[in-house]
A and B are shown apart, each in its own frame.
Chain A
């Protein structure tokens, strides 16, 4: 089966330092993949490198096409990206802001069409924002703002979705809503890659996890194969209590090593 997104030998140098070292990864249709690793491991930079937001070397293909063959609008219809920085600059209405995710689909038309409205409605419903849709986006709490920006990326309705720490700042209920949404997207045949710090969320919801440290991949595979005491000790420097239940893997860090 062809990968939805495939990276080969990605390298990024920032300020003379190699931040991403020779990373190769595949994102297949129908999978929700967690990108794990400590602060400064290179998770954000790796996502930015895939999106072409930092200078990179290596090969990147979307489906069977090299990414260079796509125009910016074409690739925006294929891959959506949620930056870690939750930037909203003007007090635009929540609904309008989420509608920005439709930009690559709207062509030259200045008014949103039926499909655009439907996509925005679905994204708002998924992120529990229907009641907030008329609000100004600068009046929101941190968690609400995060959900609005996730909804913006969902409204883009792309086969591939890359998100940088989407669960940060969300309350437990909305974290679970988010994970369930990503899993649902994956079951519909789309591919989701999310960087996460919440190991239990990754253990319970991700089909596969990629563990990186110091710019390179340390381990990848099903959560129970990757989130082992040994890996957690070498990569994060923590001891953890790992339990397996029907919900999946639960990882609770209990102390430093």
Chain B
């Protein structure tokens, strides 16, 4: 079977799905506000409690869902294209693990209890530290395999430090808080979180969207891409720092959310003729749609139990990924 869909049409369709899910996210929640009433409360801001719920709880949640999902999808597509490996994902460079470590330190030391923004700020510091360390280990313009190895080393080390924090946690509540945070969630985030993450996310997007043509050329390998006029050192810097900026910011406000950066580009690749450049915008929109859908699902499936977003994405993502591999395997024979 071959699906024929022009590229602008695909983007329009994905954009429409994302927009619809954004609105559904806005009207989904335990407060039980009716559809039109909730949108009116959001826009006018004159409906008392309903307006507060809409503007201060649901709106930031929906915005974060969209921009974080887009960041994960986009950076996943960029990394897969750059490394020419369909198994690459945003966590590969150690950014997610290090952002998690930063936030764990904030929780462990009690900094996050002292002031709210300590947690995302520490997470961001962790992400920046990770990317600088990876660049230091691998060197600028390093071979991709060196870059991956440096990422693995940083991920392992950040993971070990996180385990150490759990191990030595002074009380079970801090340990529980750390574990819960690491599962990833968009619950109870405010517009402050949006304003904190948004600048980094936008910078990350601006960097990643520049590499589309170079990623296309890398389909032919590094030697051919270099002789087609692309500066691969610059491409590497844009991919690494762009991913760090948007995934670091995303992890710092929402915790580690897996599988979207891996699965979404994989899912959309056949729809863009496998062109890595076109996959960028498609995966950004697709990532936003999937994360919004997942965040709506956690609120519908278990409204009282606070099902974590990262748990759901992995729970659905892993079997789905297996199915994709299975299907591909059979298709290839």
Q: Which chain A residue lies CB-closest to B83?
A: A89
Shortest distance from the beta carbon of A136 to any chain B beta carbon, whole Å: 8
Residues of B within 8 A of A9 (CB): none
Residues of B within 8 A of A88 (CB): 219-220
Residues of B within 8 A of A127 (CB): none
Please state if B231 and A72 are interface contacts (CB–CB under 8 Å). yes
> How far is B224's CA from A81's CA once the two chains are assembled, in angstroms?
7
Q: Which of A77, A79, A89, A91 has the most chain B CB atoms inside 10 A of its CB? A: A89
Residues of B within 8 A of A251 (CB): none
B276 is an interface residue with CB less than 8 A from chain A:
yes
Please state if A90 and B229 are interface contacts (CB–CB under 8 Å). no
Please state if B224 and A90 are interface contacts (CB–CB under 8 Å). no
Segment from A34-42, A95-103, A116-124 that makes contact with B: A95-103
> How far is B157's CA from A29's CA once the two chains are assembled, in angstroms?
57
Please state if B227 and A79 are interface contacts (CB–CB under 8 Å). yes
B153 is an interface residue with CB less than 8 A from chain A:
no
Q: Which of B84, B226, B269, B274 has the most chain A CB atoms inside 10 A of its CB? A: B274
Which of B84, B220, B226, B269 makes the CB contact (< 8 A) with A100? B220
Please state if B229 and A72 are interface contacts (CB–CB under 8 Å). yes
Q: Which chain B residue lies CB-closest to A158?
A: B227
Shortest distance from the beta carbon of A105 to any chain B beta carbon, whole Å: 9
Give the contacts of A54-79 with B (CB-CB under 8 A): 71-77, 79
Which of B216, B230, B269 makes the CB contact (< 8 A) with A72? B230
Residues of A within 8 A of B230 (CB): 72, 103
Which of B219, B221, B227 makes the CB contact (< 8 A) with A92? B219
B46 is an interface residue with CB less than 8 A from chain A:
no
Give the bracket for the number of chain B residues in contact with chain A.
Answer: 20 to 34
Q: Which chain A residue lies CB-closest to B234?
A: A72
Shortest distance from the beta carbon of B185 to any chain A beta carbon, whole Å: 34
Please state if A103 and B274 are interface contacts (CB–CB under 8 Å). no
Please state if A89 and B229 are interface contacts (CB–CB under 8 Å). no
Please state if B227 and A100 are interface contacts (CB–CB under 8 Å). no
- Given contacts A53-B226, A72-B230, A83-B224, whether A89 and B84 have CB atoms under 8 Å apart is yes
Residues of B within 8 A of A156 (CB): 228
* Between-chain CB contacts (< 8 Å), 22 pairs: A48-B223, A51-B227, A53-B226, A53-B227, A71-B229, A72-B226, A72-B229, A72-B230, A76-B227, A76-B229, A81-B224, A82-B224, A89-B220, A92-B219, A92-B274, A100-B216, A100-B217, A103-B216, A136-B274, A149-B220, A152-B220, A152-B224
Contacts A72-B226, A83-B224, A100-B216 known; 10 new A-B pairs at CB < 8 A: A53-B227, A72-B229, A72-B230, A76-B229, A81-B223, A81-B224, A89-B218, A91-B274, A101-B228, A103-B228
A-contacting residues of B (Cβ < 8 Å)?
Answer: 84, 213, 216-221, 223-224, 226-231, 269, 273-276
7 closest cross-chain pairs (CB), A and B: A87-B221, A76-B229, A73-B229, A90-B274, A81-B227, A89-B84, A104-B229
